[in-house]
Amino acid sequence: MRKDDSYAHSANRAGIRHRLRDHLASVSRLAGEFAGGAPWADEARLAGLLHDLGKYGDRFQARLRGEDQGLDHWSQGAWLALSEYKAIAAALAIQGHHIGLQYLSTDGCRGLELQKLTQNHPLQLSLSSHRLDELKARLAADGLMAAQPRSTVCGMELDSRIDRMLDIRLLFSALVDADFLDTEAHFEGDQGGKRYRPPGLKLEPERALPLLLAEIERLQAGTRADARVAEIRSSLHRACLEAAEWPQGLFTLTAPTGSGKTLAMLAFALKHAKQQGLRRVVMVIPYLSIIEQTARIYRDIFAPRFGNAYVLEHHSLTGGGAEPKENQHDNEGHQTEDPERRRRLLAENWDAPLIVTTSVQMLESLFANRPSTCRKLHRLAGAVILFDEVQTLPANLAVPTLAALSHLAQAHGSTVVFATATQPAFTHLHETVQQQCAGGWQPREIVPEPSALFTPLKRVTVEWGDPGDPLSWQVLAERLRQPPQVLCIVNLKRHAKELWTLLQEVDALHLSTNLCPAHRRDVLATVRQRLERGAPVRLIATQCIEAGVDVDFPVVYRAYAPLDAIIQAAGRCNREGKREALGQVYVFMPEDERYPPGGYEQAAKITQMRLKRLGKAGMVIDDPEFITAYYRELYDISRPETAKKACELLDFVRAGAFPEIAQTYRLIEQDTINVVVPYAARLDLFTALQEMADTEGLNARWIKKARPLSISLFRPKADDPVWDGLIPVQNKPQRGKKSQEDWFIATVPEHYHPQLGYQPPTGLNLWIA
């Protein structure tokens, strides 16, 4: 057989088929480059060279001609990597580049044996060829030689820990990204050959940092905050710039709400990247509303100098998983630059200098097994990874999460920063974390004495109500009628609705995630305008206002909650410190003491226990040591290292079970759906989205346009009446494939209340005649 008889892919639009030897050589080269300075870079190159070895088989070549189907073309390379090169990580990566990472175990390795696969393939596929010697000969005839790696992730050892499994994922990431990029370049190619996408922009911290510092200086010069608040912000910025000169590693940033952490930690990241030669900055934020706000701030600073591609916003509502609109071409048939398509492509593998993403997107990727989800992981090596509002990290996932992040810092040259006003006391988990990675968890605090930032920033007094003497909604409503400007935060949406209903005659406003983003922005704009004018404003809200929302009320009421939530609520009171009198925060027990699911109730009970033990005088919410003591007590009781979910996950780690780990590590337990709602102020957009859904179906452009009108709901049960008012937005074309129904349009205008937002039906199905 001639060398050019073997192909990796069918013809592209220029009529050129993809030679297998070119594909294997290119993927090997790219995978090695993506492995960077990792000691197992040779193993990544080996994986790239062998990942499609089975495509040399005659049956696969027949498949390209449409003469065969149902073939496994990856197990041959995986078995060769394992049996001859003793490279388990490469074998697992090759096996997983189509079906996902499987099992680092004896049974997992035995399952790669070609004879067993020929007799009984677990996916009911046929091998494209079971003659390994023939495949090797064809590889050699193409001038490709697989060399023994000088170093591997784990050789033939099967011991499994968080750090080893993360290294396998990183190697896997390098392989799948290389494979995707080379395949994409072939199909985008023309008569001149492959056309690789342009690489993402460079971080260039030496140019970016002055832009950021100039913006910080402009904001400080124009601030209307109290002089003490302004000095705290300046002190925080100085501390971040000084700490940026320290070696890379693990850090905490503990600073009070309203102290300017968003820009201060970015200043740390850019200067630190300049000092240490790091490649990108990843900002991880728990809430979508804060992500959009933060990304907008960063774009305003950097886009005029570097362009819009400098900041990449990536989360569930950016449409990264949907198909792009049809490619655009110039008069000569070359693809032109479509900004949305460019953003989507960069989001696939995080090829950007500054990434703003969610905790879910970032952390679940570290424990994933699917190629598309793991593809971006190699970009985290040599990065500054900033976690804002880190107190939201679920305690039952703390040990595996800390181990993975610690290993990124210790073995892959990254820096990780945990930033919050209420720093969780994770250091007591050091020894447990050390069982999963050598470094354990011993971060360094960026602010030398965090209490020095909190002490002079006393902006509120807190009155702790008796938890045993709950307030009725009627009594609470009467109290809220008295001050002209007041914010009340409750734990549940139905509590907010009930309280708002009692306050309609005083034009109370409502804020919860039942309101779409456009509606929430309008409510907050009204709130800020009234606050600024000194006009009456009463806002009833859920926790969605507690992090990253810049409002400044003189009086705040907060239902009993975890201590960090109460502190965040206090951060919306006298935020700028410019009021003549201290702000007033009232913590109360509502008559219906209910809490969101998860560990929320237990944490709220710890707050009440500390009040009972220490008395009101001992509840010093602006003292970092008090906050640390709260978390230690919480963790002593909840025992995150022995939590059921943590133990289950670590059992799967010990078993080397990549699929089960991916299924178990979930920041959000329940499945959710996205619903586009008919917000009256944006009915023009709603109508346009309905029309686009009918003509184009679900695509990246539609999702991006839908963001302002989208809310998330836990997926209702099949017989829930909510479905009567929803229609799915379908992917097109389907051609026999069942649609994944994650996006819906709310079709009944009455289901979207002008103040309360989405209020789906809760009664029996009344639409059946």
pLDDT tens for each residue of 61-84: 999 999 999 999 999 999 999 999
pLDDT (0 to 100) of residue 765: 39
Residue 702 has pLDDT above 60, yes or no: yes
DSSP state for residue 153 in the 8-state scheme: S
Residue 323 has pLDDT above 80, yes or no: no
Residue 682 has pLDDT above 70, yes or no: yes
pLDDT (0 to 100) of residue 330: 29
The phi and psi torsions of 672 (rounded to 5 degrees) equal: -125, 160
| Banded pLDDT at 292 (limits 50, 70, 90) | confident
CA 320 centroid distance within chain: 12
Question: Cis (ω within 30 of 0) for the bond into 733?
Answer: yes
The answer to whether the beta carbons of residues 413 and 654 sit under 8 Å apart is no
Residue 398 has pLDDT above 90, yes or no: yes
Mean pLDDT of all residues in 702-718: 90
Q: Over the chain, what is the mean pLDDT?
A: 89
Instruction: Give percent of the chain with pLDDT exceeding 70.
Output: 93
CA angle 145, 86, 54 (to 5 degrees): 50
Mean pLDDT comparison of 41-50, 225-234, 420-429, 576-585, highest-scoring range = 41-50
b or e along 73-108 (b: 16 or more beta carbons within 10 Å of the residue's beta carbon)? bbbbbbbbbbeebebbbbbbbbbbbbbbbbbbbeeb
| Banded pLDDT at 220 (limits 50, 70, 90) | confident
pLDDT tens for each residue of 4-15: 589 999 999 999
Q: 566: which 2 tokens?
A: 């109460």
Residue 514 has pLDDT above 50, yes or no: yes
Range(s) of the chain covered by CATH 3.40.50.300? 205-322+341-449, 459-621
pLDDT (0 to 100) of residue 216: 93
DSSP 376-393: TGGGGTTEEEEEESGGGS
- Coil/strand/helix, residue 631: helix
Q: Tell me how far apart the terminal alpha carbons of the chain are, to the nearest angstrom.
A: 69
The three-state DSSP-derived secondary structure of 703-740 is HHHHHHHEEEEECCCCCCHHHHHEEECCCCCCCCCCCC
The answer to whether the beta carbons of residues 555 and 572 sit under 8 Å apart is no
| Banded pLDDT at 123 (limits 50, 70, 90) | very high
CA 538 centroid distance within chain: 33
Find the range with the poorest average confidence among 129-138, 468-477, 576-585: 576-585
pLDDT tens for each residue of 250-263: 999 998 887 888 89
Mean pLDDT of all residues in 147-153: 94
Residue 225 has pLDDT above 90, yes or no: no
Torsion angle in degrees (nearest 10) through CA of 208, 209, 210, 214: 110
- Cα–Cα separations (whole angstroms), residue 445 to 65, 266, 416, 418: 61, 16, 12, 9
The phi and psi torsions of 101 (rounded to 5 degrees) equal: -60, 140
The two most distant CA atoms of the chain are separated, in Å, by 89
Residue 361 has pLDDT above 70, yes or no: yes
CATH of span 205-322+341-449: 3.40.50.300
Mean pLDDT of all residues in 582-603: 91
pLDDT tens for each residue of 405-449: 999 999 999 999 999 988 888 988 999 999 999 999 999 999 988
Mean pLDDT of all residues in 472-485: 96
Residue 286 has pLDDT above 80, yes or no: yes
Q: How far apart are CA 574 and CA 256, in angstroms?
A: 13
Residue 574 has pLDDT above 80, yes or no: yes
Residue 318 has pLDDT above 70, yes or no: no
| Banded pLDDT at 479 (limits 50, 70, 90) | very high
pLDDT (0 to 100) of residue 520: 94
The answer to whether the beta carbons of residues 566 and 587 sit under 8 Å apart is yes
Q: How far apart are CA 468 and CA 328, in angstroms?
A: 66
Find the range with the poorest average confidence among 74-88, 500-514, 633-647, 687-701: 633-647
Residue 375 has pLDDT above 50, yes or no: yes
pLDDT (0 to 100) of residue 449: 86
- Between 281 and 325, name the one with better pLDDT: 281
The three-state DSSP-derived secondary structure of 204-264 is CHHHHHHHHHHHHHHHHHHCCCCHHHHHHHHHHHHHHHHHCCCCCCEEEEECCCCCCHHHH
Residue 151 has pLDDT above 70, yes or no: yes
pLDDT (0 to 100) of residue 240: 97
CATH 3.30.70.920 fits 459-621, yes or no: no
Residue 65 CB coordination number (10 Å): 9
Q: 688: which 2 tokens?
A: 């346009």
Residue 163 has pLDDT above 90, yes or no: yes
Mean pLDDT of all residues in 41-53: 97
Residues belonging to the chain:
769
- Between 299 and 345, name the one with better pLDDT: 299
The answer to whether the beta carbons of residues 63 and 71 sit under 8 Å apart is yes
> Which residues contact residue 347 at a Cβ distance below 8 angstroms, ignoring those fewer than 6 apart?
312, 314, 318, 320
pLDDT tens for each residue of 276-285: 999 999 999 9
- Between 369 and 261, name the one with better pLDDT: 369
Q: How far apart are CA 547 and CA 708, in angstroms?
A: 19
Q: How far apart are CA 288 and CA 286, in angstroms?
A: 7
pLDDT (0 to 100) of residue 459: 84
pLDDT tens for each residue of 728-748: 998 765 444 445 678 999 999
